[in-house]
A and B are shown apart, each in its own frame.
Chain A
Amino acid sequence: MPFVTGVGWISAQSMGEGRKNTPFQMDSGELPSISRPPCFEQGVFKSVYPRFSRMDEFSRLGVSAAGLALQDAGLNGRISKQGMGIVVTTVYGCLHTDLDYFETVTPENGAFASPALFSYTLPNCFLGEAASRFGLTGPGYVVSQQGNSDLSSLRAVLEDMDCEDLESALAGICDLGCPPDFPVDINITPGAAFVVVEKNPDVALKPYGSLRLNQAQEVFFNGKKILSFRELIRACVKRIPGTGS
């Protein structure tokens, strides 16, 4: 049975890890600027990480939140577990970067198109950054929302664990929200949140709880049906392992 062993998030209100007792809130508002990873001066980001400053905003958000979740699961440094995967749900994806990139294409018939920006115009690019930083050698892909549900990444990971040999993965959500003046505003809360899901957690680490996916694609955490990723994070931080709460 898969278990949640790590939780990490970055929202307009807070950034944190489940076991650090940071209050979780993810509502609309302006995300903190993540120009360098100051919140990770220990653990996974402890060593020099020059690539971080070259990434687009979407990637910085995603890599940082994934790092927090891994750190919370006690998986500091490169992951020793072979084949750990990462799956993310996003709505706007890297649209901000797409718009920034295309601004560099318009003048002079594309002669000054930015290769640095183009490198981040796929929503899965930050998964590659996370993979190389953390040593995630398993499957990595981005999934769209299913209707209004942002649980598709978690469903995908649970399916991969059920149908495949996948033993551990990060599942998450990542969105910067609607770009300014973009004609379609889907009212997505900006922020990123990840959970580490493991089939066989380290015995020294008490998991947050168990996950189950039924045939109707409903997700259950500790036997209770959950309807959104935020609800899952809230349920996890309510019962931090080892605190007795």
Chain B
Amino acid sequence: MAAEVWVTDATSVTALGGNLEELWQRLLWGHSAIAPVVRFSVKGYKSRFAACIEDLNCLGPMSAIHDLLGRLFKEMGPVPTDARLYTATTKAGIDNLERICQGEPADASDIFITAIANQISGRLKLNHGGTNISAACASSAIAVAKGAALIAAGRAECVLVCCVDLVTEFVFSGFSALGALSPKPCMPFDRERSGLTLGEGAASLLLMTAARAKKEGRSNLGTVLGWGVANDAFHVTAPAPDGCGLLAAVRQALKRAYLKPEAVSAVCAHGTGTVYNDQMELTAFDQLFGDRKLPVYSIKGAIGHTMGAAGGIEVVVGLKSLSEGLVPPTVGFSKGEDRTAGRVSSQAEIMSGNYLLSTNSGFGGINAALILAKSRGA
């Protein structure tokens, strides 16, 4: 029998809050951290907006990723040294590549995806070095899925998942060149949506067997009940319009959780605000849920699209949603398409039920789905 996967500690650092409580409150109030970018010149780009963390700095030659992880460490509870570590990032300390190219002193080793795992493992004095998962914007959801799978199969008692990504000129210019940036703050699922807005952030989740957590007197913030990962096999940068990959991932997650779609109480969607992503998701949700109306929300209008960290941050928020019985508003959403009626809202909503579906999709056609269950103690 598979071991139950508890989340015993979860926190985040985003532009909307230096910790989970602050983020949660401001999400409920409908605040947004999206603002004009001052970190670099946006003169040549199609947008001037991003959700950047205030005063995030490069410390000498080190990438700003160190400052961000330092803020995350301050919010994290104790981590057992035998924890397996999965990190998730798309571009790690890519700000240092910019600095090197501009002839400034910068530590080049921060650019490697191993940098994050090495730093966290060293800082927390973990027995094992970590492994970074890189799968575009589904990176951290896959890291959570892998951690949960290890615990459920009895291959580990405890897994730490840490995810992080930065807003840099490198990624900003790239999404601008692709025509994917919204000239205005992003509007997930809105009829007039025209692209995404980048954000930065980090999150950590400590997963543990229920037995080990009880033995250590740790609280249960919620359970990771199901997970699935699948590829569209369609295109590198565009999602399959029929949502086949996302559907396959969600069906795997539901099967593992022994649930039918009717049991899902709400959906934390990827909801980037691009025309094609949101359309693909709505198509997939229509196929999954039929005419059923259930809350579907995106937090990217509030904290921006945090790329490789998005899935992890959304799990942290999703657990809070389950424990509070509330779904945060979709900031930026105003005039929805027909298919959003009765689902997406610009207001916080009451959520009844015990299961939340969280989904992410990314470049390379990858999709990940997680089913989170409300803590029975909550």
Q: Which A residues contact B (CB, under 8 angstroms)?
A: 83, 91-93, 95, 98-99, 101-103, 105-106, 108-111, 113-115, 118-125, 127-129, 131-132, 134-147, 152, 156, 159-160, 162-165, 182-184, 215
Contacts and interface: CB of A to CB of B under 8 A. Distances in A.
A30 to B, nearest CB: 23
Contacts of B177: 110, 113-115, 118
A106 B44 CA distance: 11
B135 A165 contact: no
* Interface of chain B: mostly helix, strand, loop or mixed: mixed
B155 A136 contact: no
Given A131-B233, A146-B129, A159-B146, A93 B174 contact: no
B128 to A, nearest CB: 8
Chain A CB within 10 A, most for which of B153, B170, B231, B252: B231
B243 to A, nearest CB: 13
A134 B231 CA distance: 12
A91 B363 contact: no
A115 B178 contact: yes
A113 B176 contact: yes
Contacts of A119: 178, 236-237, 363
Interface of B: 41, 43-45, 90-91, 94, 97-98, 100-102, 108-109, 111-114, 117, 129, 131-136, 139, 142, 146, 149-150, 152-153, 155, 169-170, 173-179, 229-237, 245, 248, 252, 362-366
A131 B134 contact: no
17 contacts: A91-B114, A95-B111, A101-B174, A109-B43, A110-B44, A121-B174, A124-B135, A128-B231, A128-B236, A136-B231, A137-B230, A145-B114, A159-B146, A160-B149, A162-B155, A163-B155, A183-B108
A125 B98 contact: no
A1 B132 CA distance: 26
Given A110-B169, A141-B366, A144-B131, A124 B136 contact: yes
Given A108-B44, A215-B155, A144 B132 contact: yes
A162 B149 CA distance: 9
Nearest to A118: B174
A80 B113 CA distance: 33
Nearest to A142: B134
Contact of A142 (B98, B135, B174): B135
A136 B233 contact: yes
A132 B170 contact: no
Given A119-B236, A119-B237, A123-B134, A162 B153 contact: yes
Contacts of B236: 119-120, 125, 128-129, 132
A152 B366 CA distance: 20
A39 B231 CA distance: 27
A143 B44 contact: no
B363 A163 contact: no
Contacts of A121: 91, 170, 174
Contact of A165 (B90, B134, B252): B252
Given A128-B236, A146-B129, A159-B149, A110 B173 contact: yes
Contacts of B111: 95, 98
B232 A159 contact: no
Contact of A132 (B100, B169, B248, B365): B365
B230 A83 contact: yes
Contacts of B135: 124, 127, 140-142
Given A83-B248, A99-B101, 17 more contacts: A91-B114, A98-B111, A101-B170, A105-B170, A109-B41, A115-B179, A118-B175, A132-B235, A137-B233, A141-B142, A142-B113, A143-B131, A144-B117, A146-B131, A156-B146, A163-B149, A163-B155
A147 to B, nearest CB: 5
B213 to A, nearest CB: 19
A93 B112 CA distance: 8
B131 A99 contact: no
Contacts of A138: 229-231
Contacts of B169: 105, 110
Contacts of A143: 131-134
Given A145-B114, A165-B252, A99 B134 contact: no
A226 to B, nearest CB: 18
B178 A122 contact: no
Contacts of B102: 106
A95 B136 CA distance: 15
